[in-house]
Amino acid sequence: MKLAKIAVAVAMLAGLAVAEEKTPSKFVRVTGTSEVKVIPDRAVIEVGVEKQDPSASVAKHAEDAAARRILAALRSNGIDEKDIQTTYLWLQPRSSYTKKERIYYFVASQTLTVTVRDISKLDTLLEAMVRAGGNRIDSITYETSDMRKYRDQARELAVRAAREKAEALAKALGQDIGRAQQIEEADLSYRYGGLMANTAFEYEAPAKSRGPSLAAGQKTISASVTVQFELN
């Protein structure tokens, strides 16, 4: 009999525990977002040289010579070796029609990626590279050198925004929020807004009296977090 009573008591306690587990907790779940505006302090240029000739060897030698002149121009303008990288190199046969006759030739091309840590030098550098033989500017992308600082700032502002939103919702219900139960960060890759120039085959260096011909603008670094708070 005692064993039966103990079994009944255990069963009742287990039932209460299950009931407590199934009781929905009170919480408020919100998403906070933020944007931090940053003035870029460096730029990444992709500049290329492209040469063509009926002879593959001649086309490649012409491209190599132009690439050497571009590298020399970059070094003479104070660009460090670590900020210059060959990122694309190819030699391919091509053909075209001239007066209904098919002409065969080879195209040799090379692309250099250059990090410019003083964006006030952009116009001067572009002029120097074009004069040295660069005939293709693929892109100009603006960046900031202290991304971690601004990412952390954007994340902190997003968390603050989430808390303020949760407090406002709880207050409207005559309640308060408690501790955070869960937090998730959206993967925005901290996207930026900003200028990126597309392919250009001609470049005219600006006269000094005209001032700079490029504008860096601002970058927008975004963050988003979803937080679940206890609701009291």
Which pLDDT tens digit goes with each residue over 178-223? 999 999 998 765 444 433 333 333 444 444 545 677 788 888 899 9
CA distance 24 to 26: 6
* Average pLDDT value for residue range 157-170: 95
Do 117 and 89 belong together in one domain? yes
Query: Which pLDDT belongs to residue 167?
Result: 95
Do 125 and 205 belong together in one domain? no
Do 105 and 182 belong together in one domain? no
Do 208 and 228 belong together in one domain? yes
Q: Tell me whether residue 7 is in a domain.
A: no
Do 32 and 48 belong together in one domain? no
CA distance 195 to 212: 15
Query: Which pLDDT belongs to residue 100?
Result: 82
Residues 82-139 pLDDT 10s: 999 999 999 999 999 888 889 999 999 999 999 999 998 899 999 999 999 999 999 9
State the chain's mean pLDDT as an integer.
Answer: 83
Query: Which pLDDT belongs to residue 217?
Result: 80
Final residue of a structural domain among 74, 106, 137: 137
Query: Which pLDDT belongs to residue 216?
Result: 80
Final residue of a structural domain among 122, 137, 152: 137
Domain range spanning residue 131? Answer: 43-137
Amino acid at 100: K
pLDDT of residue 19 exceeding 50 = no
Give the CATH number, domain containing residue 77: 3.30.70.2970
Query: Which pLDDT belongs to residue 195?
Result: 35
Do 133 and 49 belong together in one domain? yes
Give the CATH number, domain containing residue 208: 3.30.110.170
Percent share of the chain, pLDDT over 90: 66
Two structure tokens written together for 85: 């990288």
Give the pTM: 0.66
Domain total of the chain: 2
Q: Tell me whether residue 229 is in a domain.
A: yes
Do 183 and 206 belong together in one domain? yes
Do 149 and 37 belong together in one domain? yes
Q: Tell me whether residue 19 is in a domain.
A: no
Residue 118 phi/psi, 5-degree rounding, is: -130, 95
Do 129 and 163 belong together in one domain? no
Do 113 and 78 belong together in one domain? yes
Do 162 and 107 belong together in one domain? no
User: Are the C-beta atoms of residues 203 and 130 closer than 8 Å to each other?
Assistant: yes
pLDDT of residue 224 exceeding 60 = yes
User: Are the C-beta atoms of residues 19 and 109 closer than 8 Å to each other?
Assistant: no
Final residue of a structural domain among 120, 137, 154: 137
Do 85 and 101 belong together in one domain? yes
